[in-house]
Amino acid sequence: MDVNKVTLIGNLTRDPQAKKLSTGQSVSSFDLATNYTWQDIKTKTKKENTEFHSIVAWGKLAEIINAYVKKGSKVYIEGRLHRREWQDQEGKKQRKIEIVAENLVMLGHRSAKEDKKDPTELPKEELSMEEIPVTA
C-alpha cells in the first residue's frame, strides 16, 4: 500500500487566486506559511524557520476557499503532493511541487467586525404598509 498524504496548519501569505477553466471547473491557488521553532543546542537560543507551500484546490473546495479564505487566514489543510512539469515561454523545463488540497478547515477567530456585533441584536426587517398589523 502506498500513501501520499500531507497535513498542514498555517497562514495564507496572499489572497487565493481564483480561476475558472473553459470546462467550467473552479481552481484556487495560494501559498501557505508554516513555522517551526526549536532551541539551538549550543547557544540555547530559540530559533525559528518558516516554510512556504504552494496549494491548489479544485471544484467545490476551490469555490469555498475563494469565497471565505483570505491572506492571513489560519487553515488546516489535508491533501497530497503533486509534481507539475511544463515548459516556459523560453522553452526551459520548469517543475513545481504543490499540494493538492482535498480538505480544508478554517481555524482562528472571527474578524474584529464580527466580534463587535451584539449577539442579542436581531436583524432589522423592513415591513411594507400592508404587513403592519392594525388594531382597532
CATH number of the domain within which 42 lies: 2.40.50.140
Using CA atoms, how far apart are residues 22 and 75, in angstroms rounded to an integer?
Answer: 29
Q: Is residue 35 part of a domain?
A: yes
Q: Is the C-alpha dihedral spanning 76, 69, 16, 12 positive or negative?
A: negative
Q: Is residue 43 part of a domain?
A: yes
- Report CA-CA distances (Å) from 101 to 7, 32, 133: 9, 12, 53
Q: Is residue 127 part of a domain?
A: no
Q: Is residue 120 part of a domain?
A: no
Q: Is residue 116 part of a domain?
A: no
Q: Where are the beta strands (DSSP E) in the chain?
A: 6-12, 17-20, 26-39, 46-58, 74-87, 93-107
Please tell me the predicted confidence (pLDDT) of residue 121.
47
**Three-state secondary structure along 104-118?**
EEEECCCCHHHHCCC
Using CA atoms, how far apart are residues 38 and 55, in angstroms rounded to an integer?
Answer: 26
Mean predicted confidence (pLDDT) in 9-20: 95
Chain position carrying cell 487565493: 16
Global confidence as pTM: 0.72
Q: Is residue 118 part of a domain?
A: no
Residue type, 72: G
Encode pLDDT of 42-101 as tens digits.
998 999 999 999 999 999 999 999 999 999 999 999 999 999 998 999 999 999 999 999
Please tell me the predicted confidence (pLDDT) of residue 71.
94
Please tell me the predicted confidence (pLDDT) of residue 119.
46
Encode pLDDT of 94-106 as tens digits.
999 999 999 999 9
Residue 36 sits in which domain range?
A: 6-111
Domain count, the chain: 1
Q: Is residue 64 part of a domain?
A: yes
Q: Is residue 47 part of a domain?
A: yes
